[in-house]
Structure 1
Amino acid sequence: MSSSATISVGIQGDGTNGKSAVLANGKEIRKRGPNCGVRHLQCVLLFFGLTVAYALRVNLSVAIVAMTDNSTNPDFETYTWDNKGVVLSSFFFGYVVTQVPSGQLAHRFGAKYLLFFGLLLCSVLAIGTPWLASFGGQSAVIAVRVVQGLSQGVVFPSTHNILSRWSPLEERGRLTTYCYAGSQFGTVIMLAVSGEMASSNLGWPSIFYISGLVGVVWSAAWLLFGSSSPSENRFISAEERNLIEKSQRVVEDGEKKSLPTPWLKIFTSPAFLSLTLVHCTHNWGFWTLLTEIPTYMNSVLGMDIKSNALYSSLPYLAMWIMCYVFAILADIMNKWECISLNFSRKFFNSVGHWIPMVALIGLGYMTKETTGLAIALLTVAVGMNAAVYLGFQVNHIDLAPNHAGTLMGITNCAANIMSLIAPLTVDAIVKDEKDPVEWRTVFFVSSGFYLVGNLLFIIFGKTQVRKWNDYGIESSTEMEGKPEGKNVAEP
């Protein structure tokens, strides 16, 4: 890439109108790209891919209640397991291992097949879970969850890698939010219907059969229509491909695959380190709620599994809806050009952390007599988390689009160590599941993580492309970012 190849100016943040005043050799080549194109098809596919991933991830959270309590459906086998926290957290033992390797594999070879094989394997294992539970008990379920975690470790690095290739700068926040909203949609669907499935004639095994079969169907659709980048897609128009590629600070596919990863520069970048820390603290709070809400509602609020599953899904329904609300709000703010991209990222990240922090503090004082208020606070605590998709969640692509998959692999690996530890910490704190005082400690700890993580992101977080994004390129071009024509900063 020569320094005269392409210069993009006049783009600010994640605009809403699709404009991209792109100049090539001093001539304007585009005012507006297609409003609905192949990039949006990729977004839809990724949305449902994350729907499947999270359905497969959280199906055990409700199923485990029916699997260990024969009052739910006495027609199906139940088990006596010593430590449900270990079973619930076992997914993350595998999940953290494949994060960084997945980022590198996606960087070198493209993310399409990595995502395909990862979710296909996870889906097949879900279908086999009931048989494995009957055959090998708790140990077999832990083993299969570890392998499912290994297979799903490819999901976020692959998704971020694909988004870095498919998202024009001015649509980055919006498309990222729409894609990751699929994770909440999958959680909502799984939590909402799993209680009914467990108490039906099909019993708790149907939770695993149905989620697994849906995953196999999605894998087939992705294989047919998904692509790692615009250059590998046979359906994309030349106009849309030009819109995407000329608005990004991303090198060509051939160059990218041979681009070295600047490990030292990454791990000594304050902006990246603050991103890693906020990802860790967010995951602690979020996954404490995701894995423990069914147990909390059953034990403290006294809800049966049907109402438990339904009300457990409400917070994630709120989060799914708020994904779109926040995306629209960000679009309006950017259209009016009333805030900078840096302020936008930190504002939304604060909404996604500090409002849940306050709600969790209130939740610590709830009892059976205040069930309605407890559900409302849970809904706020989880629903407001949607704002982070316009905060730290997209910041990997802001800092280094050429290495977005690798950066996500690193931060997600560290963050999911927190996801692994969080349920175990709940087990250590909560000795009597019916004691609201012990749950209060759990919620206070999560609130503390939310407070500290976002504060560090506000102080040290950045949105300008790091210079090490182009590390290894002999001649790089100054591309897009701000009206003044610069969007590059030191580490």
Structure 2
Amino acid sequence: MTDNNQTEEAPLLSASRGDPNIDVPKIPGCIATRHVFAIFAFFGFVNVYMMRVNLSVALVAMVEYTPNFNLTPTNHNDTCPPRGDTNSSDHSKSTAATYSWDEDTQNQILGAFYYGYILTQIPGGWLAGRFGGKWIFGLGILSTSILTLLTPLAAGAGVGWFITLRILEGIGEGVTFPAIYAMIAHWAPPLEHTKLINISTSGSMFGTIFAYPIAGVLCDSNFLEGWPSVFYLSGALGILWFIFWMLFIHDTPEKHPRISQEEREYIQKSKGSTKVTTLYVPLLAMLTSGPVWAIIICNFAYNWGGYTLITNLPNYLKNILMFDVSQSGFLSGLPYVFLFVVSVIGGFLADFLRKSGILSTNKTRKIFNSIGLILSGFGVVMVGYVGCDTVLAMLYLCLASVGQGLVQSGHSVNHLDIAPRYAGLLMGFSNSAGTAAGFLAPITVGVLTEDNNTIGQWQIVFWISFGFFMLGFIVFLLLGSGDVQYWALDDYVPTIVEDYETSTTQGVDDYSINPDMPSYFSKLRH
């Protein structure tokens, strides 16, 4: 649903006809202010994902579990043999309580976060677009940090309290991605969208890299009784980050007191205006847009595979490949090293290809997205067919993560290409779909592995993820776009005209007014 006057190779167009191709000026100082913003956002997402994934490792230590050593992997359908003293929990220094939660209960706890997370995606995007993302992003992380500190107390109070707390944490974190997309729409010149988005959001991968091994070590220690220390550490770091975020970050370049005049003018001239100046949002046009649905469907598909790994990988490594909790923590973080590195490098490469004119934005997004999802699907499926060869299993998991890193320069940043002024709201829509995958995937894993936690059942889990990866690849290839959509242009947005008697209607497509409509609606300019 792109403008008929645009072609695939048309010059990049911002929401209010800015010039993205102007030369980048020399910025005074050591680092550009927009890059400082991206670094602070990076560390914000480090905290977001530490608080999100630490439970995946800690849960292994929180639950009373006795591995079944009687099964052998003769047909790749059983669990692997023990690796020395696998039942390391007998020798753990942790003194914290453990709980008798079955597989179904554990997956309900892991999925509960996403019940809350889905509720604030769209409101968070709209609020950030309307009023600015600084406070929305900051308060989202602060509230989750405080709740994370209360995790040991909630777990001890009972499963119901624990699940409720995880839902509330999800509500707090649900605003984070939409808010940062809304802020980047103000801070990033069009030809730096991929780079700044990937620097900012790659904190999620780095947080995962950091959280998995540190959580494994803390769970196996006697520091603050063991597994509770995981939540105390991540909660405290989140509160500390919030203080610095509020002191140094501002919603837009126009509001920043320390940005240089050269950088402010460069950002303003390259992107034009992305400010939403009216309460009106072209929802009908958005929700009937093929490129919007390409992002939404692809995000659901991509997140199904991603959340299957991020929530269940420590479980697979401990209960199938038979690593202890501290080993599984380190190994769980390894694939995210590749995801982090490829995501950042991919962002720079994608923007270079666009800025140099080698590829259009449309081709860049589709190439990165397609290669990434194909690699992810292949890597995930192969994990289930290497038996107990842990080296091969980790290699294929890392290959899948390389693919996921490439996808970060595909559909994941496409919101800013097709509708920069509504990037936060569109992220709310697409991340709502991705969040649905976040709680459906763990439930599916729980159903398939409950009382039958074997390699054969995990092969089914991995094939389901493969199917979703391929769905995302096909849909985005067919429906995706790299062009600003007509409904996201500045002169399409209707505004209330105060002088009803002399007002006229204007617009990119010269829409007509229905004479039967009430007079005040007739004064809307399309």
Asked if the contact 1:198–1:204 (Cα under 8 Å) also holds between the matched residues in 2, the reply is yes
**2:328 — aligned with what?**
308
Among residues 94, 118, 137, which one is paired with 2:140 in the alignment? 118
Q: Write the distance in 2 (CA, Å) between the matches of 1:331 and 1:394.
A: 11
Q: Normalised by the size of structure 1, how large is the TM-score? A: 0.88
Encode CA deviations 1:220-265: one digit per residue, 9 max, x unaligned.
01110111111121111222111111111534x4xx2425211100
**2:54 — aligned with what?**
59
Encode CA deviations 1:18-48: one digit per residue, 9 max, x unaligned.
x9544xxxxxxx6525283111110001000
Answer yes or no: is 1:68 the counterpart of 2:88: no
Q: Which runs of 5+ in 1 are unaligned?
A: 1-9, 23-29, 478-491
**2:371 — aligned with what?**
351
Deviation at 1:431, TM superposition (A): 2.7
Q: Write the distance in 2 (CA, Å) between the matches of 1:215 and 1:456.
A: 37
Asked if the contact 1:291–1:423 (Cα under 8 Å) also holds between the matched residues in 2, the reply is yes
**1:128 — aligned with what?**
150
Q: Write the distance in 1 (CA, Å) between the matches of 2:179 and 2:507.
A: 25
CA distance 1:163–1:433, change in 2 (3 Å): farther
Among residues 276, 295, 302, which one is paired with 1:275 in the alignment? 295
**2:160 — aligned with what?**
139
Q: Write the distance in 1 (CA, Å) between the matches of 2:379 and 2:359.
A: 27
**2:343 — aligned with what?**
323
Q: Which amino acid in the other structure matches residue 102 of structure 1?
A: G
Q: Which runs of 5+ in 2 are unaligned?
A: 1-9, 65-88, 496-505, 509-526
Q: Which amino acid in the other structure matches residue 207 of structure 1?
A: V
CA distance 1:33–1:245, change in 2 (3 Å): farther
Q: Write the distance in 2 (CA, Å) between the matches of 1:279 and 1:199.
A: 35
Identity among equivalent pairs (%): 34
Q: Normalised by the size of structure 2, how large is the TM-score? A: 0.83
Query: What secondary structure is seen at the aligned counterpart in 2 of 1:32?
Result: coil
Which moves more between the two structures, 170-179 or 93-102? 170-179
Alignment: residue pair count: 454
CA distance 1:409–1:342, change in 2 (3 Å): same
Q: Write the distance in 2 (CA, Å) between the matches of 1:354 and 1:458.
A: 12
Asked if the contact 1:300–1:367 (Cα under 8 Å) also holds between the matched residues in 2, the reply is no
Deviation at 1:328, TM superposition (A): 3.7
**1:4 — aligned with what?**
none
Equivalent residues in 2 for 1:21-36, closer than 5 Å: 21-22=21-22, 32-34=25-27, 36=31
Equivalent residues in 2 for 1:409-488, closer than 5 Å: 409-432=428-451, 434-470=453-489, 471-472=492-493
Q: Which amino acid in the other structure matches residue 442 of structure 2?
A: P
Q: Write the distance in 2 (CA, Å) between the matches of 1:259 and 1:34.
A: 36
Query: What secondary structure is seen at the aligned counterpart in 2 of 1:246?
Result: helix
Asked if the contact 1:159–1:405 (Cα under 8 Å) also holds between the matched residues in 2, the reply is yes
Asked if the contact 2:300–2:435 (Cα under 8 Å) also holds between the matched residues in 1, the reply is yes
Deviation at 1:330, TM superposition (A): 2.4
Deviation at 1:73, TM superposition (A): 4.2
Deviation at 1:403, TM superposition (A): 0.6
**2:232 — aligned with what?**
209
Encode CA deviations 1:57-96: one digit per residue, 9 max, x unaligned.
1010000001113534452211112310000000000000
Q: Write the distance in 1 (CA, Å) between the matches of 2:449 and 2:24.
A: 58
Q: Write the distance in 2 (CA, Å) between the matches of 1:323 and 1:400.
A: 22
Query: What secondary structure is seen at the aligned counterpart in 2 of 1:96?
Result: helix
Asked if the contact 2:12–2:20 (Cα under 8 Å) also holds between the matched residues in 1, the reply is no
Query: What secondary structure is seen at the aligned counterpart in 1 of 2:147?
Result: helix
Among residues 222, 243, 246, which one is paired with 1:220 in the alignment? 243
Encode CA deviations 1:281-316: one digit per residue, 9 max, x unaligned.
001010001101000001111100111000000001
Asked if the contact 2:110–2:442 (Cα under 8 Å) also holds between the matched residues in 1, the reply is yes
Encode CA deviations 1:447-471: one digit per residue, 9 max, x unaligned.
0000011111001100100111133
**1:176 — aligned with what?**
197
Q: Which amino acid in the other structure matches residue 131 of structure 2?
A: F
Q: Write the distance in 2 (CA, Å) between the matches of 1:284 and 1:347.
A: 21
Query: What secondary structure is seen at the aligned counterpart in 2 of 1:98?
Result: helix
Encode CA deviations 1:375-425: one digit per residue, 9 max, x unaligned.
111111123201112101111111111111000001101221111100000
Cα RMSD for the two superposed structures: 2.2
Q: Write the distance in 2 (CA, Å) between the matches of 1:334 and 1:431.
A: 48
Q: Write the distance in 2 (CA, Å) between the matches of 1:309 and 1:466.
A: 44
Equivalent residues in 2 for 1:9-408, closer than 5 Å: 21-22=21-22, 32-34=25-27, 36-69=31-64, 71=90, 72-73=92-93, 75-82=95-102, 83-134=105-156, 136-202=157-223, 203-251=226-274, 253=275, 256-334=276-354, 336-368=356-388, 370-408=389-427
* Bigger radius of gyration: 2
Asked if the contact 1:79–1:137 (Cα under 8 Å) also holds between the matched residues in 2, the reply is no
